[in-house]
Structures are given as structure tokens and as C-alpha cells.
Amino acid sequence: MVSLHSGRVPVLLIIGVLLFTAHASTTSIYQMTLTDADRKEILSILFERELVVAKQKELVILLSPLTDTKWPLDLPGIRFKKLNYGEEKQVSEYYELSVNKIDRNYVEVWFSKGNYCKKSGESYRFRKENGKWVANPHRSFQSFGGSGSCPACELGSGSGHKAKPGTVEAKEPPKTLVLTGKVLATRCKRFEEKDILCELDLSLDFVNLGKEPIIILQPNGAYDFWHGATNLALSKADAEAYNYVYSHGAWPSVYRWEMYRVLAEKLDQATPPANVTRIIAPSESWNYKTTVRLKLNEEKTCNYSMGVEIGWKEIKKLTSPVWMEVSFEMWPTNVENFRSDLGEQLRKRWKQHGILYLEERHHRRSFASVSSEPIELDFQQVELPL
């Protein structure tokens, strides 16, 4: 063994020193150092809109608790306040700023605007050109908070500062089967401590706008259309643009219930069996009455996939009806637990009778659902029983 007192340094120790020196050298070469002057110039670019407004009055701009303490540097007319983790749920809008990467050539800053429930914004890469910082948008993004109460989050807030306008995924091409309807009755009651449970009686019309007959399943015995999702919007235009204030869904898991085995046997025929299928001719409609459930939280909440979600108190303050979209499973995937090829076989067998409504794919299994056109839903006359 080599002794340190012998004047000879162990090889392992020398390697460790070399590695440390190399790391320190790499950091200094490949990562720039930001000064307060740099940060203020970057902040001025990010908050340029607010600086214009600040010429008329002083603005207090709220920043996320996650903001690095080096960044809240006051600008002319703007004073920054960093929220603590309790305050962020109580305000309807604040900014979040984080430095994702400091490179030798650029600084990547993630900058968003929103609230505890939903934030959207832009990732920028800042580079110095001729001694001045220049921002280049890198990518747009959205982030969503976890579930919980959002007492001060405003519906519709959370649009990103300087971010590109949000693009909604294009709807699928217009389908030949259209679902319209109206609400016949609404009953609501308190459910558990802070929830409101509503039952909605619906009258729905399945309309064939195509040029060929459409074959759908018809509720029979234990089988009914599975109510898979419900969305609410503040206007019909918002509903058509997917700007929801409420969105909940629950589609079937893998069940081997007896009713699906029986349904598979009833469907396995050479022609569409009249007791479990219905053929809707072109321009024809079929009326279907059903009752669906809707559960609202008493307060506004944070929906993990949507942002701020409307609550019962807020919905009762509205002076106009909301607009509802309901979705149903039209072809139960669990039938395939007993006959995996049944859907494709029926499509081929029944071709001369019409088009089997088996259009979509879900988890690589046959699956067909239909979503309604916006349906007006008025909660103003609905009162909770004492």
C-alpha cells in the first residue's frame, strides 16, 4: 500500500483531481454567466407589453413560487412579487419563469402565464447579438396542475403571454351519424360533502345524414349505450371549439360480464338481428330517451387535463344556459372478449344491408362512439332539496 506520508500521491487521487479540474474547466467554457444587467434585459423583453402599460401606472406582477430568487428584479414601472405556495391557489393569474438551460451560446427560458390549474406559454432561446439580447421562440406548451380547489382561478384564464394562439385539434371529418337532443328534466342533490350530483333526462335523435343505411346496436335487455363522457361549455361556439369548463369521462374497462357474451351470440347472425340492431335509413332519425349523471364540485376545481373547472356555485351565477356534449359507446369493446373478430365479420356479412357503425379504433380494438351536437342545459331553475 502506498502511504501519503511517503511523498508519493496515489494514482486514484491524481485521477480524481484531474476529473474535478476537467469538470470545472468544462463549466467555465460551455456555460455563460448571467449578470443582473442580463436578467433585467431579458425580463424587459418578456414583459414588454406590461412595460407599455406601466408608463401610466405602477404594476405589481405576481410570479410563481418556483421562480428563481435571482430573477425578480424590478423594472421601471414594474414591481415583482414572488408568491408563496399557499398564495398561488388564491390568485387568478400569475407568471412562471424558469431557466431551463444556460449554454455557451444561448439561455433557454420557459415563460408562462396562468394559474394553479392551468398555464400556457412559450420556451424562448435568448442569444446575444451585437451586445443585445434577442429572443427566439422555441416551442409552445401547456401545463396543468393537480386536482383540488381553485377558489380564485377564473374560468377562461391561463392564456399564455406572447404564446402563439392555441390550436385546437381538428375534429374528425363530419360523420354520417349525427346525435342531437334536448334536456327534458334536471334533478340535482347534494352528494357527499362538497359534491352536487345531477340526473339529466335526455331525448336524443340519431340522424343519418349519409347516402347509405347505417346499422347501429339498439339497447336491449341488460345492454345499454355506455355513457362515456360529458363536457360543458359556456356557449355553443365554445362547445364547438372544445373550450370546455367541465370535462369528465369514463369508458369501459375489460369486463367479461355475461351480458356481453349473450350480446355476442345474438349478433353472430347472417343478417342484422332486429332485436339488437337498428337500421337507420338515409335522412331518417331514431329517438332514444335516456338518463345521464353529472357530478359537480361545489367550488371551482382544478381538472388535471383541462385547467379550471366550473363548480356548482359558479354555474348558478351564470345568466345564460351552458352547452353540454354527451358521448356514448355504440359498439361495446367487451363483446370482443368472447369473439375478437366479430366486428369485422359482421361488417362483411351485413354490407348489403348498410354500413355497420364500427368506424373508430381504440387501443387497436374495434370501438365506435358518438358525441352529440351541443345541447342547451339550463341550471337556473334547478334548486337543491333541503
Q: Residues 190-236: pLDDT tens digits?
A: 988 889 999 999 999 999 999 999 999 998 877 889 999 999 999 99
Indicate if the pLDDT at residue 140 is higher than 50: yes
Domain-located, residue 280: yes
Q: Are residues 225 and 331 in the same domain?
A: yes
Span 310-321, average pLDDT = 94
**pLDDT at residue 13 is higher than 90:** no
Domain assignment present for residue 94? The answer is: yes
Please give the residue that has the higher pLDDT: either 333 or 219: 219
| Residue 155 reports pLDDT greater than 90 | no
Residue 96 lies in a domain: yes
Query: Distance between CA atoms of 80 and 64, rounded to whole angstroms?
Result: 10
**Same domain, yes or no, for 121 and 238?**
no
Per-residue pLDDT averaged across 161-175, rounded? 42
pLDDT at 156: 67
State the angle between helix axes of 342-349 and 258-267 in degrees (0 to 180), rounded to the nearest 10.
20
**DSSP code string of 81-134:** EE--TTGGGT-S-EEEEEEEEE-SS-EEEEEEEE-SSEEEEEEEEEEEETTEEE
Residue 223 and residue 344 in one domain:
yes
Residue 219 shares a structural domain with residue 313: yes
Domain of 136 in residue numbering reads as: 36-144
Last residue of a domain, one of 144, 167, 195: 144
> Of 94, 127, 144, which closes a domain?
144
Judge whether residue 283 has pLDDT over 90: yes
Return the pLDDT at 158. 53
> Which spans in the chain are helix H?
11-30, 36-46, 48-53, 236-240, 258-267, 312-317, 342-349
Joined grid coordinates for residue 313? 356555485
165 pLDDT above the threshold of 60: no
Q: In the prediction, which pLDDT does 339 show?
A: 81
Range of weakest confidence among 106-115, 174-183, 189-198, 352-361: 352-361
Within a domain: 3:
no
What does the alpha-carbon distance between residue 135 and residue 183 come to, in Å, rounded to a whole number? 51
Same-domain check for residues 189 and 312: yes
Asked whether residue 293 is assigned to any structural domain, the reply reads: yes
Query: Is it the case that residue 326 has pLDDT exceeding 70?
Result: yes
Same domain for 120 and 214: no
Question: Which of 86, 119, 144 is the C-terminal boundary of a domain?
Answer: 144
Mean per-residue pLDDT for 320-328? Answer: 96
Please indicate, yes or no, whether residues 123 and 185 belong to a single structural domain of this protein.
no
Same domain, 70 and 114: yes
User: Are 220 and 136 part of one and the same domain?
Assistant: no
The answer to whether the pTM exceeds 0.75 is no
382 versus 29: the higher-pLDDT residue is 382
Instruction: Round to the nearest angstrom and report the end-to-end CA distance of the chain.
Output: 86
Residues 57-72 have a mean pLDDT of: 90
Can you tell me the mean pLDDT for 343-362?
Answer: 80
Task: Give domain status of residue 160, yes or no.
Answer: no
pLDDT at residue 20 in the model: 35
User: For a pLDDT cut of 90, what percent of the chain falls above it?
Assistant: 47
In a domain, 383, yes or no: no
Together in a domain, 205 and 329 = yes
Provide the pLDDT for residue 50: 80
Is the confidence at residue 2, as pLDDT, over 70? no
Higher pLDDT: 45 or 18? It is 45
In a domain, 260, yes or no: yes
Mean pLDDT is lowest, of 154-168, 262-276, 329-343, 369-383, for 154-168
**Do 303 and 258 share a domain, yes or no?**
yes
Residues 256 and 334 in one domain: yes
The 3-state DSSP class for residue 368 equals: strand
Domain count, the chain: 2
Write down the pLDDT at residue 167. 33
Give how far Cα 288 sits from Cα of 180, 202, 206, 281, 344, Å: 10, 8, 8, 16, 26
